[in-house]
Amino acid sequence: MWPLDRPPGATPICSTAPTSPPWHGMWWNGILPVGRAAMTREGGTPGIAVIGGGLTGLMTAAALSHAGPRVHLIDRAESDAAHPDERTTTINAAGARMLAALGAWDRLETPPAPVTRIAVAEGPAPTGLAARRRPDSDLSWQSGDAPMGYVVANAALQSALRDTLAVTNVIERRGCGVTGWSAGDTISSLGLADAAGQEDTMEAALVVACDGARSMMAELAGLGRREERQRQTAIVTTLRAERPHEGTAFQRFLPTGPFALMPGPGDAGGYEMSLVWTLPNDTAQQLIAADNASFEAACLEAFGSRLGYLALAGNRLAWPLQPAWRRRITAPGLVLAGDAAHSIHPLAGQGYNLALADAAVLADLVVATHRRGLAASHPSLRSAYESARFNERLAMSAATSGLNRLFAAAPPVVRRAAGMGFSILDRLPGKSLFSKIAEGGRLADAALLDGRLPGGTGR
């Protein structure tokens, strides 16, 4: 802690934004008045600390800002990356309603690309005469009046969420990392430090960990996870098609892994596509290192000629994939959200939609707990959160990893012998799950997912 005789103008250990603290005018050490442990307090009541300043942390802080308690966002990064995130995120219709209710949707500088149809196929693209005889997809979903979902540029979403937080009471702590954590019956204590190693402490009724798949907070709380072997890498880039996609998202299950093309955001003509191509590690590294012409030829061979030539229109990025499952996602004083709680295979594009549902459900529970006169640290909130999120987490984790293994791992002759083709998938309960999600629905029940703010109010 800073000493009581801290000189005027001393640099705080973590930069703060956007509002003045409730104790404005007192010595300010970047977190709380000098001489006290920092607390996320509003009127003397411990509040909520959100750990992690990525898309999940920003969105969760925005959602919880409407739930009552004061919210502090702890972000290790001092500023956004110098090079913007070139990836995209798929958001279903419920997630879009939630972001609109929070005020982030209208702040997107790059227009989202609507998805009105999903076409799914198994095996390599047919060529020659087979291409004329065989349908372009084995399963498909078509939306009605409204899009099933949208593809959003990550950089645009990050900027929109930052702008959204600027008009809430959320206090951002940037350039500040967690060094330790301990939970009491009603208050948790966080150890914090800046890049120079200057330390402080912070107290909160509830800590929400949005710090990624390898969550430090989960590790500190002893919340274990079961990991799949890291056998695959996703190549992410932008392609420009010769023919327009017309709002269709494509997913082709190949023996090497799923090949997904999504409509690209910000392209009014409808020619740009966001690629997520899952491959064995060695194959992915070869394609990352290949020249542009070789990579484009590989994409055309994998996907086929439905959209004509597929030209590279962005940098190629490689992301190692390691889906993981946590049975427990809470501990005294702590809940996990986003990838910290569930790291799923990207083949269905549902990772961020799960994170949106985490935040929406948690916001409702914080409101309900407050109305009962209880603090956010009360065990009933954690129990309700675990229960509310278990089925959807389990269903999406099992479905995405299962489908990936089904179509990527087993040889075609084994799939045929075992009856594991799309003719079987079409009759399995799993199809109804994917149908509901593909058509813009969700499994969770929460106000924000209906486009309402927590507590039953409108936007």
Average pLDDT of span 375-385: 94
- pLDDT value, residue 210: 97
Question: Which pLDDT does position 143 carry in this prediction?
Answer: 60
Segment (H or E) for 141: strand 139-142
pLDDT in the model for residue 414: 46
- pLDDT at residue number 35: 32
Residue 415: count of CB within 10 angstroms of its CB: 19
pLDDT of 456 higher than 80: no
Report the distance separating Cα 298 and Cα 304, nearest Å.
10
User: Where in the chain are the domains?
Assistant: 15-82+165-227+324-406, 88-157+230-321
Cα separation of 407 and 442, whole Å?
25
pTM beyond 0.75: yes
Given a cut of 70, whether residue 40 has pLDDT beyond it is: no
Q: How many beta carbons lie within 10 A of that of residue 243, not counting itself?
A: 12
Checking if the pLDDT of 26 tops 60, the result is: no
What pLDDT does 79 receive?
A: 82
CATH tag for 88-157+230-321 (out of 3.30.9.10, 3.40.50.620, 1.10.10.10, 3.40.630.30): 3.30.9.10
Q: How confident is the model at residue 404 (pLDDT cuts 50, 70, 90)?
A: low
- Output the DSSP codes for 76-128: S-SS--SSPP--EEEEEHHHHHHHHHHT-GGG-SSPPEEE-EEEEEESSPP-H
Segment among 34-43, 214-223, 353-362 with least mean pLDDT: 34-43
274 within 8 A of 238, measured Cβ to Cβ: yes
Model confidence at 253, in pLDDT bands (50, 70, 90)? Answer: confident
Span 202-211, average pLDDT:
95
pLDDT score recorded for residue 78? 86
Burial letters 159-191, b for 16+ CB under 10 A, else e: bbbbebbeebebbbbbbbbbeebebeeebbbbe
How much is the CA Rg of the chain, to the nearest whole Å?
23
pLDDT digits (tens, 9 = 90+) for 137-196: 555 566 666 888 999 999 999 999 999 999 999 999 999 999 999 998 889 999 999 888
Residues 143/146/151/154 CA torsion (nearest 10 deg): -150
Whether domain 15-82+165-227+324-406 has CATH 3.20.20.70: the reply is no
- Say what the pLDDT of residue 27 is: 23
Torsion over CA: 100, 104, 106, 109 (sign): negative
What is the C-alpha to C-alpha distance for residues 58 and 66, in angstroms, rounded to an integer? 13
- pLDDT, average across residues 415-443: 51
327 with 218: CB under 8 angstroms?
no
The H or E element that residue 251 is part of is strand 248-254
Q: Is the peptide bond between 244 and the residue preceding it cis, with omega within 30 degrees of 0?
A: no
Write the single-letter amino acid at 271: Y
pLDDT recorded at residue 436: 58
Considering the chain, what is the average pLDDT of its residues? 81
Q: In the predicted model, is pLDDT for residue 42 greater than 70?
A: no
457: pLDDT strictly greater than 80 = no
| pLDDT tens-digit readout, 95-105 | 999 999 999 99
Burial class (CB in 10 A: 0-12, 13-18, 19+), 80: middle
The pLDDT assigned to 283 comes to 97
